[in-house]
A and B are shown apart, each in its own frame.
Chain A
Amino acid sequence: MSPFELSIQEVGAKLKNKELSVTELVDASYHRIAETDESIKAFITLNEDAARKQASLLDEKLINGQAEGALFGLPAGIKDNIVTEGLLTTCASQFLSNYNPIYDATVTRKLRDAGAVTIGKLNMDEFAMGGSNENSSYFPTRNPWNTDYVPGGSSGGSAAAVAAGQVYFSLGSDTGGSIRQPAAYCGIVGLKPTYGLVSRFGLVAFASSLDQIGPLTKNVEDAAHVLQAIAGHDPKESTSANVAIPNYADALTGDVKGLRIAVPKEYLGEGIDPRVKEAVMNALKTYESLGATWEEVSLPHTEYAIATYYLLASSEASSNLARFDGVRYGVRAENPENLIDLYRKSRSQGFGSEVKRRIMLGTYALSSGYYDAYYLKAQKVRTLIKQDFDQVFEKYDLVIGPTAPTPAFRIGEQVGDPLTMYLNDICTIPVSLAGVPAISVPCGQVDGMPIGMQIIGKAFDESTVLRAAHAFEANTEFHKQRPQL
């Protein structure tokens, strides 16, 4: 049995009892990657030399009785849009194929301080733009449950690596669903924290008012511990929230008696696979048997969320990606005619077509004459979408629905049609616009492929989200299912 199947406490205990060493955990990680990554292709860059050196240092600390914390010694994968000093960081783009970061992201530093070991950098949709990992300019990552299928995106590598047992946990990023949807497609847990809870310092920005870093794990308890390590105010990041961080593990009581759940009718309507709907309805029955109650509600502006998101996110992206000009870093085009030509050629050669499409859309929406009609309008609709959630949370503790309308689809099936691809995010996008936290937990299978339930909470109430997710897990077996590789 892989040591990654041990619970987080069991690993901690075995490390302290010298039944296991950090080096052995790291060995297990690289061994598993060697066995499976030929077919899964979750990783862009491996960090083997540095990881093994770090493992030796951590094993010394262990011997000296200095091992501390739940994440000590755990092999972790990091999405390739989170900078790691000295370790190639590409955002899965050709533009950054040679980029060697000169600093660590705050979350990178926090994981290292917590004793986790960075195993490598994980594949993703280029600059986090996509929902299938097919927009990586390197190669697509495959779903460990069926390698003809997508793992989801944009944190496809992060989800696949955990599902395939290559790392104990991974970090991903979520702008419109990019942690939650791949977690659902790969049958694992994925958490998007409240906007501002986790520092974005060192996360290559896609949409600054939406991006959040979060954990992808095999169960809810692990997610609570990873969140504990990465959450918290960061003076280097001015949108980082200055709030008290509770002990998230304390929330895992198993008790959901009296919990009031809201189920938006818009999340179970047409467009949702009836078998996905059935699985969520069964999950609600489980909650009822545990003493929670649920009622149908309405989030009336749900149907406007996708259009709102694509206008806002693309606009913010067009601004954020202006920094990729070929001047200070990245792949600079050769033989430009002049400076502007240098920008044009470097960008055009370095960016893939989805990235270009979104930059074009965002630039248009922000341009003179169109700003009011598109960007400003979208910002106002965002207010209405957020108010829908505010109103529901006056009477309820949580909102529950499916994470995605269907299970994973086949590689190549949707690439020709960007709009269809965008519609996969209908369940996750409104949550991002409202800035509230949400977790995806496995809740069944459709045609042998995993599906996820999304549990959405009030701002900064990750504790209730984790409590509900953990209680569901404790009373079901879905999270124990593993793909046959």
Chain B
Amino acid sequence: MSITLKDVDHVANLARLELSDAEKTQFTDQLNAILKYAEKLNELDTENVEPTSHVFELVNVMREDVQKESLPIEKVLLNAPDEEDDQIKVPAVLE
């Protein structure tokens, strides 16, 4: 599998990244090199191998459904770039 500039555009859009033309070209080359290297993994037969998503057996980690303290609003807003009426402000979500 080989990545084209079109693929890079698509992925950049998914990742919410804006790339310059120079970056797009550079990334196309670099990603192709890395993915070519990754094709090595196809040398291995993994038909009957379970995937590892977590190294040690952990079953659902739960706690009692008991209400605990929430964050005070000043802390929530401490790093907010823009706020109004105790809410974080952003451009319109729906247009």
- A positions within 8 Å CB-CB of B: 98-100, 102, 195-196, 209, 235, 238-239, 241, 301, 303-304, 306-308, 310-311, 318, 322, 325-332, 336, 338-345, 347-348, 351, 353, 356-357, 359-361, 363-364, 367, 370, 373-374, 376-384, 386, 418-419, 434-435, 459
Interface residues of B in 41-95 (CB under 8 A from A): 41-44, 46, 49-56, 58, 61, 63, 71, 75-76, 78-82, 88, 90-93, 95
Given contacts A345-B18, A418-B34, 19 further A-B contacts (CB under 8 A): A100-B79, A209-B53, A304-B43, A331-B81, A338-B95, A343-B16, A347-B16, A359-B17, A364-B3, A364-B7, A364-B35, A367-B10, A376-B51, A377-B42, A377-B46, A380-B44, A380-B52, A383-B51, A386-B52
The answer to whether the Cβ of B31 comes within 8 Å of any Cβ in the partner chain is yes
Contact A383 B14, beta carbon cutoff 8 Å: no
The CA of A359 and the CA of B37, in the complex, are separated in Å by 18
A383/B54 in contact, CB under 8 A? no
> Are B1 and A373 neighbours in the complex by a CB distance under 8 Å?
yes
Residue of B nearest to A324 (CB): B16
Interface residue SS majority, chain B:
loop
Contact: B56 with A195, CB < 8 Å?
yes
B79 touches A330 (CB 8 A): yes
Interface residues contributed by chain B, number (CB under 8 Å)? 53
Q: Which residue from B33, B58, B81 sits with its C-beta under 8 Å from A239?
A: B58
Say yes or no: A338 contacts B92, CB within 8 Å: yes
Q: Report the 5 A-B pairs with minimum CB-CB distance, sorted nearest first.
A: A435-B55, A379-B51, A329-B79, A332-B81, A380-B46
CA distance A328 to B83 in the complex (A): 10
Q: How far is the CA of A382 from the CA of B54 in the complex (A)?
A: 10
Contact A342–B40 (Cβ < 8 Å): no
Contact B91 A381 (CB under 8 A): no
Chain A interface SS verdict (over half): helix
Contact between A209 and B54 (Cβ–Cβ < 8 Å)?
A: yes
Q: Is the beta-carbon distance between A364 and B11 smaller than 8 angstroms?
A: yes
A332 contacts B82, C-beta separation under 8 Å = yes
CB of A326 within 8 A of CB of B81, answer: yes
With the chains together, A475 CA to B38 CA distance in Å? Answer: 42
Residue numbers in B under 8 Å from A377 (CB-CB): 41-42, 46
How far apart sit A418 and B34, CA to CA, in the bound complex (Å)? Answer: 9
Residues of B within 8 A of A303 (CB): 40
Residues of B within 8 A of A418 (CB): 30, 34
Report chain A residues within 8 Å CB of B12.
360
CB pair A367 B11 closer than 8 Å: yes
Contact, CB under 8 Å: A383 / B56: no
Known contacts A235-B63, A342-B90: A304-B41 contact under CB 8 Å: yes
Given contacts A336-B91, A356-B17, A459 and B34 within 8 Å (CB-CB): no
Asked if residues B51 and A459 are in contact (CB atoms below 8 Å), the reply is: no
CB distance from A211 to the nearest CB of B (A): 12
- On whether A338 and B91 interact (CB within 8 A), knowing A356-B23, A381-B41, the answer reads yes
- CB B19 to nearest CB in A, in angstroms, measures 7
Which B residues are in CB contact (< 8 Å) with A238?
58, 61
Shortest CB–CB separation between residue B58 and chain A, in angstroms?
Answer: 7
B76 to chain A, nearest CB (A): 8
In the complex, how many angstroms separate the beta carbon of B11 from the nearest chain A beta carbon?
A: 5
CB of B56 within 8 A of CB of A304, answer no
Central interface residue in B10, B56, B88, by most chain A CB within 10 Å: B56
Q: A376-B51, A379-B53, A418-B30 are in contact. Are A100 and B78 (CB under 8 A)?
A: yes
Contact A307 B91 (CB under 8 A): no
Known contacts A383-B51, A435-B55; decide if A363 and B15 are in contact (CB<8 Å): yes
Q: Are B79 and A99 in contact (CB under 8 A)?
A: yes
Alpha-carbon distance between A363 and B13 when the two chains are bound, in angstroms: 10
